[in-house]
Amino acid sequence: MGVSSLLNFCLLHLLFHVLTSTKNIFQWRGKQKNYFETLKENINTTLVLAFPYLQQLFEIETGASDYTMGVVLMQQMKLICYHSSIFTGIVINYPTYDK
């Protein structure tokens, strides 16, 4: 899993977050159910973490956009850990470099 896969996961999470926002009236319909099922499938199948070997080199990949950012720590093309954030509030107005 690389940064592009992680950012796709973050985008899906963002869409589900928007659909379930307190600013919107929540209705469980086809669109919400599809996003939820896809998100659930991605969590259960894609994000498999490996144990790190401290004697080997690590690789860090990062990615950011206007609304989300992600970082993955990998070793020998295996995902060790990841982090993703969805920007909200004033952070959305920051330049991408500062996010």
The pLDDT tens digits of the residues spanning 10-49 come to 666 666 666 667 776 767 788 778 877 877 776 666 556 7
Question: Beta 59-64 vs 78-86: how paired, if at all?
Answer: unpaired
Q: What pLDDT was estimated at residue 97?
A: 72
Domain definitions of the chain by residue range = 3-98
Task: Please state the φ and ψ torsions of residue 39, each to the nearest 5 degrees.
Answer: -60, -45
Q: Over 60: is that where the pLDDT of 3 sits?
A: no
User: Among 3.10.100, 2.60.120, 3.10.20, 3.90.320, what is the CATH number of 3-98?
Assistant: 3.10.20
**What string of DSSP letters covers the chain?**
--HHHHHHHHHHHHHHHHHT-TTS-----HHHHHHHHHHHHHHHHT-------TTS--EEEEEE-SSEEEEEEEETTEEEEEEEEE--GGGGGS-GGG-
* pTM of the complete model beyond 0.75: no
Return the higher-pLDDT residue of 50 and 17: 50
Q: What pLDDT was estimated at residue 34?
A: 81
